[in-house]
Amino acid sequence: MKSIIATFTIAVFAIHSQAQQLYLDATYDSVSVETVNYSNVFTDDFHKMDIYQPVGDATEKRPLLVYIHGGAFYAGDKATQDCIDFCTKFAKKGYVTASVNYRLANALVFLSNQSIQLDAVLKTMSDVKASIRYFSKDAATNNRYKIDTNAVFIGGYSAGGVAALHTAWVTDTSELDEQLISIMKAGIKDLNGDAGNYGYSSKIRGIFSLAGALYKTQYASDWDIPVYLAHAKDDETVLFNCGPALNNPMVVDLCGTGAIVPRLDSVEIIYDTMILETGGHGWPGLGNKGEDFNRAVEEIATFFYPMLLDNVRLQNNTIESTDVSVFPNPSQGNIRIQSKESIKTIEVLDMRGKFHLHVSSPTDVIELPLKNGIYILKIQTEGSTISQRLILRK
């Protein structure tokens, strides 16, 4: 995993010992699906979404994942196979998932006019934000879906990946050039959009992109929202590096994973990738029938999991003291631990609870002979047991 993280939480944490782990594995056997209109401004098919919920889930605060379909911003639907399969898989893991429709452009006009192309992306961003605010509004009122508004994730395939990256990372008008500002003001008006549910949060915790890209890699800025990127090098529709989308010189240039990753390194954004040598553009569309699709689903679940530590605690008490500190985090192999209390033992486990390291009577500098990844560091002091997330980095 190629990733870094700025902060970590000190908390009492117990690792699930059962075979199935909530938010990682298919914990629920079945899901329910309902269709709702998510905008209180528009009442058309473009503003409907299918909501998937795990049947039998009694959790009071649940993570939300919004999936955005592909189709080049002029085609596609929330009920295509990849949408159904992705949302069902994550709902069985314990997420509430939503497959959203959004406004589509006229294909003939879209393919010949770059201003229309950019406007279509901005309108999709507006619609996605309105769908997130739909759940935030519900959490503040009826609380029907029991969403943890601090654990909202978005992503999608092709145009859906493009939309997710821009929705998460383009958050201030100052990031837009004069052409985009003009298009925005004539269309969605501002970056909050025009699709309603105003006054509620559209905050995003993490994003994923399957064969998606950015209009400008500069939209990824310092310590921005973490991202998982999956892309095939031989993709000729959304290029792995940079070039005209749809392999059409009349369509705007987009930059794919090959160009985004160096930018992520330079601005220190948490990320992970699945880079395929072959697969073209269509591999995510295979849904459950595709080996790479299924692999991406599991890797995305693992990538998001550390952001859900507050959701998966088995003990409710949180240690208020910050008398133990661990640094650097991320680490390249050695960490320094400082504590006001004497440290008795240190244990390191991975996110599935597999034991990796036990240190008795440790010194203040600990060498961690581990592969890059995400681990739970459990520290036993004279007074209490605490744990901290630990990110290792190349």
Listed as own residue / partner, the contacts of 361-366 with beta carbons closer than 8 Å and 24 or more positions apart are: 362/337, 364/336, 364/337, 364/338, 365/334, 365/335, 365/336, 365/337, 366/334, 366/335, 366/336, 366/337
Residue, of 20 and 33, whose pLDDT is higher: 33
C-alpha closest to that of 155 among 347, 337, 30, 297? 297
Residue, of 356 and 122, whose pLDDT is higher: 122
pLDDT surpasses 50 at 322: no
How much is the pLDDT for 208? Answer: 98
**Could you give the CA distance from residue 52 to residue 145 in angstroms, rounded to a whole number?**
10
How much is the pLDDT for 376? Answer: 73
* Cis bond before residue 330 (omega within 30° of 0): yes
How much is the pLDDT for 318? Answer: 33
% of the chain exceeding 70 in pLDDT: 82
Q: Does domain 20-308 have CATH number 3.40.50.1820?
A: yes
How much is the pLDDT for 71? Answer: 97
The reply to whether 324-391 shares the fold of 20-308 is no
Q: Nearest 10 degrees: CA dihedral of 49, 55, 60, 64? A: -30
pLDDT surpasses 60 at 389: no
Question: Quick check: helix, strand or coil at residue 330?
Answer: coil
With cut-offs at 50, 70 and 90, classify the pLDDT of residue 13.
Answer: very low
Give the tens place of pLDDT for each residue, 150-170: 999 999 999 999 999 999 999
Give the tens place of pLDDT for each residue, 45-91: 999 999 999 999 999 999 999 999 999 999 999 999 999 999 999 99
Give the tens place of pLDDT for each residue, 228-259: 999 999 999 999 999 999 999 999 999 999 99
pLDDT surpasses 70 at 38: yes
Give the tens place of pLDDT for each residue, 271-315: 889 999 999 999 999 999 999 999 999 999 988 887 885 444 333
Question: What is the third-level CATH fold of 324-391?
Answer: Immunoglobulin-like (2.60.40)
How much is the pLDDT for 141? Answer: 97
Q: Which residues fall within 8 angstroms of residue 194, CB to CB, at 6 or more apart? A: 41, 126, 187, 188
Average per-residue pLDDT in the chain?
Answer: 86
Strand partners, 339: 324
Sequence ranges of the domains in the chain: 20-308, 324-391
| Type of residue found at 45 | D
C-alpha closest to that of 69 among 21, 37, 35, 104? 104
**Could you give the CA distance from residue 63 to residue 55 in angstroms, rounded to a whole number?**
15
How much is the pLDDT for 388? Answer: 58
> What is the token pair recorded at 198?
């105003």
Give the tens place of pLDDT for each residue, 92-147: 999 999 999 999 999 999 999 999 999 999 999 999 999 999 999 999 999 999 99
pLDDT surpasses 70 at 4: no
Exposed, middle or buried by CB within 10 Å (0-12, 13-18, 19+), for 228?
buried
% of the chain exceeding 90 in pLDDT: 68
pLDDT surpasses 60 at 7: no
In angstroms, the Cα distances linking 380 to 16, 17, 376 are: 19, 20, 13
